[in-house]
């Protein structure tokens, strides 16, 4: 069983308020259960965690840290597939609205258990959560205060180079949910983080579908508007620098005039630099 790094996850146990008031023993007992559940999850001890959850099933949805994280938050952040899978099964057995919402519940930093699963790159954890709550791929999360509306999970995955997670979330994210900023961000991330180099035919096919759908939307823009957006994002120049010939050909076949567009440094595309005649890389 994989252990979770408490330092890496940054979790801190919550302390119940008013411990000196009546019902002191009840609150102390609950605090102890939370601590035991926290410790069991951090150490990867499912036997211990399962015993606690069987005796006190309500603990599966309790916030057990000072940042309002649940046990699912902790297991997801630790990439613990066994814990996440079995915890979601427990939530499924409950069958109420709260158990599904708990996967989208945010801690004080704005992170849900699903968000942490996406950041971890463990597709299996994301899959079992989406089976419980199909709305999860469409819920935005902020990763910094400058985010006005937050990013979709697929964008969070792309910006961290988790290509398998991106391939999975593409199948679960309605294309119409992608705002213009989301689409340009996905194009940039695909090129900047080597996400066009896929491990399987299925992933490569999904990548092509996603990029073609995004590019088709941009082709609807006026010529001047399109050129301005391409220049600002420097999409073609990153593609040339990385030698992503197939991606460039797809774009330039539909808009060859973009070949002469300059980036923010007033440089146009240097195809010899892109190594078309040598190593060809494709998405």
3-state DSSP assignment of residue 194: coil
- Strand partners of residue 106: 112
Indicate the pLDDT class of residue 134, thresholds 50, 70 and 90: very high
Q: Which residues contact 35 (CB under 8 A, 6 or more apart)?
A: 13, 64
Host domain of residue 173: 142-283
Q: Residues 68, 107: contact at Cβ < 8 Å?
A: yes
What average pLDDT does the structure give for the chain?
79
Q: Which CATH number goes with the domain that contains 80? A: 1.25.40.20
Question: Residue 193 and residue 205: Cα distance in Å, rounded?
Answer: 18
90 and 203 fall within a common domain: no
Is pLDDT above 60 for 138?
A: yes
Determine the Cα angle at 280 with ends 277 and 282, to 5°: 150
169 and 131 fall within a common domain: no
pLDDT, tens digit, 9 for 90 and up, residues 210-234: 888 888 888 888 888 887 877 777 7
Which of 139, 168, 191 is the C-terminal boundary of a domain? 139
Is pLDDT above 50 for 273?
A: no
58 and 97 fall within a common domain: yes
Indicate the pLDDT class of residue 174, thresholds 50, 70 and 90: very high
- Tell which phi-psi region holds residue 57, choosing left (phi > 0), alpha (psi between -120 and 50) or beta: alpha
Which of 110, 139, 168 is the C-terminal boundary of a domain? 139
Is pLDDT above 90 for 76?
A: yes
Domains held by the chain: number: 2
188 and 255 fall within a common domain: yes
Which of 139, 156, 178 is the C-terminal boundary of a domain? 139
66 and 186 fall within a common domain: no
Question: Residue 133 and residue 129: Cα distance in Å, rounded?
Answer: 6
Q: How many CA atoms lie within 13 A of 18 on its CB side?
A: 4
């Amino acid at each position: 069983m994989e252990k979770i790094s408490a330092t890496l996850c940054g979790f801190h146990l919550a302390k119940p308020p008013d411990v000196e008031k009546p019902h002191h023993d009840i609150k102390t007992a609950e605090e102890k259960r939370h601590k035991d559940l926290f410790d069991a999850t951090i150490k990867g001890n499912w036997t211990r965690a399962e015993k606690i959850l069987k005796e006190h099933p309500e603990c599966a949805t309790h916030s057990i840290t000072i940042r309002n994280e649940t046990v699912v938050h902790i297991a997801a952040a630790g990439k613990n597939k066994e814990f996440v899978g079995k915890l979601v099964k427990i939530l499924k057995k409950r069958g109420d609205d709260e158990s599904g919402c708990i996967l989208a519940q945010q801690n004080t930093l704005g992170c849900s258990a699903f968000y942490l699963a996406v950041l971890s790159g463990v597709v299996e954890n994301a899959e079992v959560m989406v089976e419980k709550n199909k709305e999860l791929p469409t819920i935005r999360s902020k990763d910094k205060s400058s985010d006005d509306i937050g990013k979709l999970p697929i964008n969070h995955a792309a910006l961290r180079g988790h290509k398998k997670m991106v391939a999975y979330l593409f199948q679960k994210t309605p294309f119409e949910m992608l705002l213009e900023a989301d689409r340009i961000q996905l194009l940039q991330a695909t090129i900047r983080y080597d996400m066009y180099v896929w491990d399987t035919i299925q992933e490569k096919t999904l990548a092509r579908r996603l990029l073609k759908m995004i590019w088709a939307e941009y082709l609807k823009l006026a010529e001047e508007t399109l050129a301005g957006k391409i220049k600002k994002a420097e999409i073609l120049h990153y593609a040339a620098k990385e030698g992503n010939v197939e991606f460039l050909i797809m774009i330039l076949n539909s808009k060859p005039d973009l070949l002469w567009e300059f980036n923010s440094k007033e440089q146009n595309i240097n195809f010899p630099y892109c190594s078309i005649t040598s190593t060809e890389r494709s998405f």
